[in-house]
């Protein structure tokens, strides 16, 4: 596979070809994941839980994200690298610019921010200055305290209309991608059809243009119960590379996610 760029993913959106995304936080896994065929790697602030052992992403800092983005960039083969802005590192447009510049210099190709229409000015500023962004909507884990837990979002008419409206506003402001987490399948389908930029889903049904999972979750590390939207790919593989390859294959042929991984309104 040649180097994946936003152009590659935009072309997939037009032709309907699905693409696969996984998290990675270090150079060795970035290498394994990218060589197994994922189109994009997410250096997620989920590292606050998977690597650091916290019960939320809130303690993650810019220093952490810069370090892990640098590590991933060194091991990456040909995947596009998305990197998360951590909690409270993008509270104002100016702070957003400063911190996004640091992530881009660490090796990110796209920065990811959690939030809704309030990000409009920041997204427009990033776009004007040549920094592509991915807006994370739905269950935004940095707002877990506001939601009162990791709960499905957009289940009623008003909140689903508001999420669709946020997506349209942020696409117009210049967002290059949208990520939907834990939203009903029908809403994810409405949003995916309404916007022209690629939509990545996690717990958002099979209609989105792409899927993402946390690497440790799909490898069943640590062993045990996971969220509904996770599939244990180690159950059908002999090794990690095999598990990742079968994830990529199932995303591309549309067999993952199945109905058992999805949420209804
Ligand atoms: O931080 C992360 O890994 C994420 C995914 C759960 C989408 O944002």
**What is the pLDDT, as a whole number, of residue 186?**
98
Ligand 1 centroid–CA 84 distance in Å is 8
Q: What is the DSSP letter of 138?
A: E
17 labelled catalytic: no
Catalytic residue of the set 120, 181, 186, 223: 181
The residues pairing with 114 across neighbouring beta strands, listed in sequence order, are 136
* Best of 103, 202, 227 for a ligand 1 pocket test (most atoms within 8 Å of beta carbon): 202
Q: Which residues of 46-72 are buried (b: 16+ CB within 10 A; e: fewer)?
A: bbbbbeeeeebbbebebebbbbbbbbb
Give the number of the atom of ligand 1 that is nearest the alpha carbon of residue 212.
Answer: 7
Ligand 1 centroid–CA 227 distance in Å is 13
pLDDT band at 265 (very low <50, low <70, confident <90, very high): confident
Q: Is the CB of 212 under 6 A from ligand 1?
A: yes
What percent of the chain stands above pLDDT 70? 100
Q: Is the CB of 211 under 6 A from ligand 1?
A: no
Tell me the per-residue pLDDT of 53-74, one tens digit each, with 9 for 90 and over.
999 999 999 999 999 999 999 9
- Give the integer Cα–Cα distance in Å for 20 and 261: 16
Tell me the per-residue pLDDT of 234-249, one tens digit each, with 9 for 90 and over.
999 999 999 999 999 9
Give the number of the atom of ligand 1 that is nearest the alpha carbon of residue 114.
Answer: 8
Taking residue 117's Cβ as centre, other Cβ atoms within 10 Å add up to: 15
Tell me the per-residue pLDDT of 130-152, one tens digit each, with 9 for 90 and over.
999 999 999 999 999 999 999 99
Ligand 1 centroid–CA 114 distance in Å is 10
Between the two ends of the chain, the Cα-to-Cα distance in Å is: 38
**What is the pLDDT, as a whole number, of residue 1?**
77
* Best of 45, 59, 139, 213 for a ligand 1 pocket test (most atoms within 8 Å of beta carbon): 45
- Give the integer Cα–Cα distance in Å for 44 and 109: 14
Q: Is the CB of 214 under 6 A from ligand 1?
A: yes
- Give the integer Cα–Cα distance in Å for 35 and 4: 12
Ligand 1 centroid–CA 6 distance in Å is 19
Task: Report the pLDDT averaged over residues 148-168.
Answer: 97
């Amino acid at each position: 596979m040649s180097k994946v760029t936003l152009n590659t993913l935009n072309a997939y959106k037009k032709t309907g070809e699905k693409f696969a995304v996984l998290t990675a936080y270090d150079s060795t896994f970035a290498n394994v994941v990218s060589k197994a065929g994922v189109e994009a790697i997410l250096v997620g602030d989920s590292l606050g839980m998977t690597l650091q052992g916290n019960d939320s992403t809130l303690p993650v800092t810019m220093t952490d994200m810069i370090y892990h983005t640098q590590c991933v960039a060194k091991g990456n083969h040909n995947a596009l690298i998305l990197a998360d802005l951590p909690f409270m590192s993008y509270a104002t447009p100016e702070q957003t610019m400063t911190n996004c510049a640091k992530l881009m210099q660490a090796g990110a190709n796209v920065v990811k921010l959690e939030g809704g229409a309030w990000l409009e000015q920041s997204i427009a500023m990033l776009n004007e200055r040549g920094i592509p962004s991915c807006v994370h909507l739905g269950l935004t884990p940095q707002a877990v305290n506001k939601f009162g837990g990791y709960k499905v979002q957009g289940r009623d008419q008003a909140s689903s209309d508001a999420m669709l409206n946020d997506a349209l506003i942020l696409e117009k402001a210049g967002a290059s991608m949208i990520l939907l987490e834990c939203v009903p399948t029908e809403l994810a389908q409405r949003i995916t059809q309404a916007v022209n930029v690629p939509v990545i889903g996690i717990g958002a049904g099979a209609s989105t243009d792409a899927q993402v999972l946390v690497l440790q979750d799909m490898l069943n590390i640590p062993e045990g119960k996971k969220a509904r939207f996770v599939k244990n790919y180690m159950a059908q593989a002999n090794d990690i590379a095999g598990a990742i390859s079968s994830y990529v294959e199932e995303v591309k042929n549309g067999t993952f996610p199945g109905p058992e991984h999805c949420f209804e309104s």
